[in-house]
Amino acid sequence: MTEKWSTEELEASVVAYLDMHIKDSRNEHFVKKSYYSGLSEKFGRTEKSYEYRMQNISYVFSLMGRQWVSGLKPAKNVGSNNAEIIERLICKVEGKSYTGVAGFETQVNTLKNKKILDRPAGLVEPTISIGQATQYSRDPKVKAWVLRESQGLCESCNSPAPFTTAAGEPFLEVHHLKRLADKGSDRVSNAVALCPNCHRELHYGQSNSDKIDALYAKISRLIRE
């Protein structure tokens, strides 16, 4: 069976994964193969196909900052469209609001690993989407370009990224010096790659204004807004 996965089949896979996830978090015994077997009987794919799909779901979990099912190491070859669909289904089944982080981060990782990535124009005024939480439209090319420009080093303290993500990428966070909530732009001239410690300091540190001034003095692409 090689045809495209239907939404029904993907949702059934997500439901099975989330059931395993609950049991795993409770240290309850379960047999993964029995889940794959049940899905195989219902939809006609091989059990191996479902095992790999579960690893794709683990990858989406990792992009959402969540712990995946033990023994199902994330498999990252998930396109941004499928990552978005899987995240939407996870949120639907769990009764949570969709945030769009998985699709966006998948685009970032794909762009960052391209052979050529030109400096993007970005967004002067990111649009706002208001639901249970306020969200801003962002250009994945901006995040990808800034992360690649950093070469895995914090642009503030110069320390290497503190760890490697499930996607095999050095983990740094992209921060907008003039925040989007304050009508800052989503452009490379307003964004820096930071280790989590420096990022938190820019948000909450007593001397964060001095740290911001130092970044403007250090990095030539940055422009005050």
Instruction: Find the range with the poorest average confidence among 16-25, 49-58, 97-106, 187-196.
Output: 97-106
Give dist(CA 177, CA 223) in Å, integer.
Answer: 9
Give dist(CA 174, CA 118) in Å, integer.
Answer: 18
Give dist(CA 9, CA 82) in Å, integer.
Answer: 13
Q: pLDDT digit string (tens) for 15-50?
A: 999 999 999 989 899 999 999 999 999 999 999 999
Give dist(CA 143, CA 31) in Å, integer.
Answer: 39
Give dist(CA 188, CA 166) in Å, integer.
Answer: 25
First to last CA, the chain: 54
Q: In degrees to the nearest 10, what's the CA dihedral of 68, 74, 77, 79?
A: 10
In contact, 111 and 138? CB cutoff 8 Å: no
pLDDT tier, 65 (very low <50, low <70, confident <90, very high otherwise): confident
Collapsed DSSP state (helix, strand, coil) of residue 168: coil
Which helix or strand (DSSP H or E) is residue 176 part of? Answer: strand 173-176
What pLDDT does residue 1 have?
43
Domain 137-218 has CATH 1.10.30: yes
What pLDDT does residue 4 have?
86
Q: DSSP for 192-216, please give it.
A: EEE-HHHHHHHHH-TTHHHHHHHHH
Percent of the chain with pLDDT over 90: 68
Please tell me the pTM assigned to this model: 0.75
Give dist(CA 40, CA 59) in Å, integer.
Answer: 21
Q: Which residues contact 182 (CB under 8 A, 6 or more apart)?
A: none
pLDDT tier, 128 (very low <50, low <70, confident <90, very high otherwise): low
pLDDT tier, 101 (very low <50, low <70, confident <90, very high otherwise): confident
Give dist(CA 208, CA 68) in Å, integer.
Answer: 35
Instruction: Find the range with the poorest average confidence among 73-82, 154-163, 171-180, 190-199.
Output: 73-82
- Cβ-defined contacts of 45-53 (< 8 Å, 24+): 45/1, 45/9, 46/1, 49/1, 50/13, 50/16, 53/5, 53/10, 53/13
pLDDT at 206 over 60: yes
User: Looking at the chain, which residues constitute the CATH 1.10.30 domain(s)?
Assistant: 137-218
